Structure 1
Amino acid sequence: MATDLTADVVVVGAGPAGAATALLLAPFHQTLLVDRAEMDDRVQPVARIGESLPAATRRLLQDMGLWEDFQNQGHVPCYGTRSVWGGPQAIWADSIRDPDGPGWHLDRACFDAWLRRSATDRGAALVAPAQAVDLVSTADGWQLTLLRHGRRLTVGSRFLVDAGGRTAPLAKMLGHHHRLGDRLACCWCRGISSGDAGVTVTIAEPGGWWYTAPLPSGRRVLAFHTDADLPVAKELAGVENLLARARRQTDLASLLSTVGFQPIGHAGYCAAHSSWMEAAAGPGWLAVGDAALACDPLSSQGLLNALYSGLMAVRAVRRGLAGDTDAFADYVQTMARVVDAYREHLAAWYALESRWPDQPFWRRRHQAETTLIET
């Protein structure tokens, strides 16, 4: 079949998982990185939430050859956490006891752009904005059709990586679906503040739980998590409604007053549920990041999983393209173990909060069996 572009590997999705996969593959295989968003530096990036990077990520960044450069990006260290969870008293945990040291509160737009630049610096080609709209299996691999500025581009590839987030566009084209663990959603806003640097705060309440943390350049994020189908999710539309509920939580109200939090911009709303692929790979393709496992923000594992799955995927792709027939089965097993450990640990964290067993949000998380839904 005639194609406009060819590559050994096409990675669809240029977020952290996709960019990490591309930057590690590019020195060895012709790699094309595709994203539906505009990547022009003159265009304001879409606001994203998800700023926590655990300390253990240091080891992944070292393995990826990115650690020294990461330290120059100006992200804010996270020296500890303060949580009101399982009881009315705040509990502190600091990074002194962590052998990896402190984690980080990220400027997500800068972090994502840095990973993409690292991918192109190592030889990956970037096509953006472009959306995958059709996929056909061929004798040599795949023919992927992209829609870019209203024009169709065909790309021939030996292998595909789905890094398209929770929507997992390639996997869906191939008939694969996520398993949905819950209906968690996040209502959030950003603002300016001062003080309380380097501390992540998590506070449980009857309808869900709160999260707030400082960001680079004197900014702060405030977020509330609840299930999308519960009335409270609809009641929190808009910054004022979000702040009004936050101020009814004594500990949170005190913190926001102390740091002088002033919201800027509009409130955001996004999916935050757990979901995963039953099998994160198949003949000629695999999934990474949220396309393989999307994490509840309570776990603080989303970005760690993005980078780890990218690193594991690259090992599988390189083995597979070299003729190792076990490479992708091994990747499926690796990601299945990650999913099992994640679900076990998340259930344990939610089990620690037992003050409101009759509230729908908490009752669902304390059930012995979680209803799983195909998406």
Structure 2
Amino acid sequence: MSTRRHEVVIAGGGPAGAAAAIALARAGRDVLLVAGSDDAAFKIGEGLPPNARALLRDLGVLERVLADGHRASPGTCAFWGDATPHANDFLFQLHGHGLQLDRTRFDAMLRDAAAQSGAEVLPDALVRIVTAGDATRPHRLALRPVDAQTHAEAESIEADWLIDATGRSATLARALGARKVAYDGQIAFHQRLRSARDDDHDGRTFVEAVEDGWWYSVLLPSRERLVAFLTDADLCDHRRLLDGDGLWRALVDAPHLHALCKTHGYAPASQARGADASGSHLDRAAGERWLAVGDAALAFDPLSSKGIANAMYTGLRAADALLRHDRGDAGAIDAYTQHLLDIHRVYREQLRAFHAMEMHWPEAPYWARRLAALPLRETA
């Protein structure tokens, strides 16, 4: 079987992988972006803060994103700490409004920008490591379509560099020996709502604390309203929340958000789903001619609104570190890994300070855990 070779293979076609592919292809590198499953299903994680515009500009896609039908987000409204809403109006900030994204369209646009920059983009495919490379030999990889039979022969690929953009699973980095350090067991239950009326025009992100966690809601570009409940996995009845209208019925525990949805006549329009929403990072986000980016390297509590912006940022920084290493900067990769650890440390300090503002239920397990110094949970 013939083997083809690329300078860089990137596994994962989300914002992190696409950003790295754009930067490296523009620098003249031979890049293969293996985009994983070309799944058009709804993706949670839709908020893009105003300061992410600088990243979009660096990627050369800002004007395209602004013209692509995403919904403007003028700020946040949080019921956090008391019954009075706390408003944060983006209008008075340097970068203007944020965006509520159609994630499927946004991710596809970034992959298209990577292809236009010169990267080869391979949708509906997965890659696994056969033999890890080092300074003297390339990584040997096996490539196969997502829907291929398990016995089907995989295509053989060699790569001088490997970038893991596989999301929270960090599939390749963990296969290369990295370990995931998790700080909590938070999970997000989410559901889309729809109304026959067209009288909800509030594009703010609503946040409301409750005894066992917190809720948030945004108005999507589709005019559906997303609601999501964030709690620890061991503090809830998963089956009750995921079956039928269980999550919708649980919304009554968030009276302000519940009243908003009832006022506009919303009802469930999709099945409730669950997603990992914990804070975590790899013990090392790079190694022998490989780097991890996005959620594979650093994952954040959605309360921080850092997910998509961090994905693009780490993709760009990883590309820069790789290029500097190949130009002779021996410390470029170590500097990248340390920078990511510093980002997560500052994030944890900020998140704990924000949790400390909510003191209605200091003895409740969800809040008590976040006000205490929790032991780390290392995941093999």
Alpha-carbon shift at residue 237 of structure 1 (Å): 1.5
Aligned residues: CA RMSD: 1.6
Matches within 5 A, 1:66-85: 66-85=61-80
Using the alignment, how far apart are the partners of 1:240 and 1:137 within structure 2? 47
Conserved in 2, the CA contact under 8 Å of 1:281 and 1:287? Answer: yes
Provide the residue aligned with 1:31 in structure 2. Answer: 31
Conserved in 2, the CA contact under 8 Å of 1:273 and 1:295? Answer: yes
Q: Secondary structure at the match of 1:204?
A: strand
Aligned partner of 2:35: which letter? D
Using the alignment, how far apart are the partners of 2:184 and 2:339 within structure 1? 23
Alpha-carbon shift at residue 338 of structure 1 (Å): 0.9
Using the alignment, how far apart are the partners of 2:2 and 2:175 within structure 1? 19
Alpha-carbon shift at residue 238 of structure 1 (Å): 2.8
Using the alignment, how far apart are the partners of 2:253 and 2:168 within structure 1? 33
Using the alignment, how far apart are the partners of 1:293 and 1:198 within structure 2? 28
Alpha-carbon shift at residue 14 of structure 1 (Å): 0.5
Residue 198 (str. 1) matches residue 203 (str. 2):
yes
Conserved in 1, the CA contact under 8 Å of 2:242 and 2:271? Answer: no
Gaps of 5+ in 2: none
Residue 144 (str. 1) matches residue 141 (str. 2):
yes
Conserved in 2, the CA contact under 8 Å of 1:226 and 1:233? Answer: no
Conserved in 2, the CA contact under 8 Å of 1:239 and 1:263? Answer: no
Provide the residue aligned with 2:281 in structure 1. Answer: 276
Using the alignment, how far apart are the partners of 2:238 and 2:363 within structure 1? 18
Alpha-carbon shift at residue 239 of structure 1 (Å): 4.7
Q: Secondary structure at the match of 1:213?
A: strand
Matches within 5 A, 1:36-185: 36-37=36-37, 39=38, 45-138=40-133, 139-148=136-145, 149=148, 150-185=152-187
Residue 239 to residue 55, structure 1, CA distance change in 2 (3 Å): farther
Aligned partner of 2:144: which letter? L
Alpha-carbon shift at residue 324 of structure 1 (Å): 2.1
Conserved in 1, the CA contact under 8 Å of 2:179 and 2:378? Answer: no
Residue 81 to residue 33, structure 1, CA distance change in 2 (3 Å): same
Percent identity reads 37
Alpha-carbon shift at residue 56 of structure 1 (Å): 0.3
Of 259, 279, 298 in structure 1, the residue corresponding to residue 303 of structure 2 is 298
Conserved in 2, the CA contact under 8 Å of 1:50 and 1:108? Answer: yes
Task: Count residues with an aligned counterpart.
Answer: 369
More displaced 10-residue stretch of structure 1: 363-372 or 12-21:
363-372
Q: How far does the alpha carbon of each residue in 1:81-107 deviate from its partner, in whole angstroms, 9 at most, with x for none?
A: 111111122211211221111111111
Using the alignment, how far apart are the partners of 1:290 and 1:309 within structure 2? 9
Conserved in 2, the CA contact under 8 Å of 1:135 and 1:173? Answer: no
Provide the residue aligned with 1:17 in structure 2. Answer: 16
Alpha-carbon shift at residue 317 of structure 1 (Å): 1.2
Residue 360 (str. 1) matches residue 365 (str. 2):
yes
Using the alignment, how far apart are the partners of 1:5 and 1:45 within structure 2? 29
Q: How far does the alpha carbon of each residue in 1:231-260 deviate from its partner, in whole angstroms, 9 at most, with x for none?
A: 344431235111111024321121001222
